[in-house]
Structure 1
Amino acid sequence: MTGPDHSVKVTDIWKGMEGIYEKKLARAIGVSNFNAEQIQRIHSVAKVPVHNNQIELHLYFNQQKLVEECKKLNVSVTAYAPIGSPGRKDIIVGKFACRFGASLNPLENEAVVRLTKKYGKTPAQILLRHLIQREISVIPKSTNEKRLKENFEVKNLE
């Protein structure tokens, strides 16, 4: 495995993405895990603006400043891991390791649990609705059919 190629610039990659958009091979183009400085760098040279930034975002990692910067630039935000990653495990591949350690579980947050009782919803539904109310798109992950259906029942939460 070799290291990253630093000769390739984010703005050069974006120009290639603009070509795909201009050929109508994509309806929108965006980025993933970009910070505010990286988005601003693209924004300053872009013919086609960044449409979306997909980032990890949940109750304990709210990324407020990044979300505000995206909104200023009219970049929508999509949250992956919107209910946190309570089951996340350390990843070890050969000599490379990514250790996450113990983290708080948003599903067990005291305020979330209180709201589940008040509204008769699941903790996941409360957390998803919270992000939707912040005008953030969500991509909840589940392989459980019941939970998948529950994830769509957040709009009727009054």
Structure 2
Amino acid sequence: MLNKRRLIKTLLATLMLAAIPAAADNPPEGMVDIHYHRPDGKYENWGLHAWKRAPGASDQPLEGVSWFSPLTPTGKDEFGVYWRLAIKDFGSTGKVHYIIHKGDVKEQKGKDMSFDTKEINDAYVVSGNPAIFKSKVEAQAAVGK
């Protein structure tokens, strides 16, 4: 009898967990996620430099962000780490500008990267690849998973 109860509890717990979407999937309304995958799994000291660019104005880093103090990841999932950011922080254009870096070592061929949140709200970056992928499936194909 005890084994049947344990089995039922385990099955119910498994079903409940399966119904919960992954924390980093589909950011809530008004938010954007940038996911980052490193094949070596080493994310220590990698950060996100993010800024807004208003037409006719100079670039402004997001509040609390500087080159020497980038954003630390919001979380980690099976793909890698991710940053969750408020779209409103990027100004009226809704365009996200960023660089993933560790000190002066930059991802995506060292270029300033950007994407429009009207087209992408869940961006994926694979270490060593200059592309911004629009889905986890596309990014995983680039990794070879």
Query: What TM bracket, shorter-length normalisation?
Result: under 0.3
TM-score normalized by structure 1? 0.21
TM-score normalized by structure 2? 0.22
Indicate the structure with greater strand content: 2
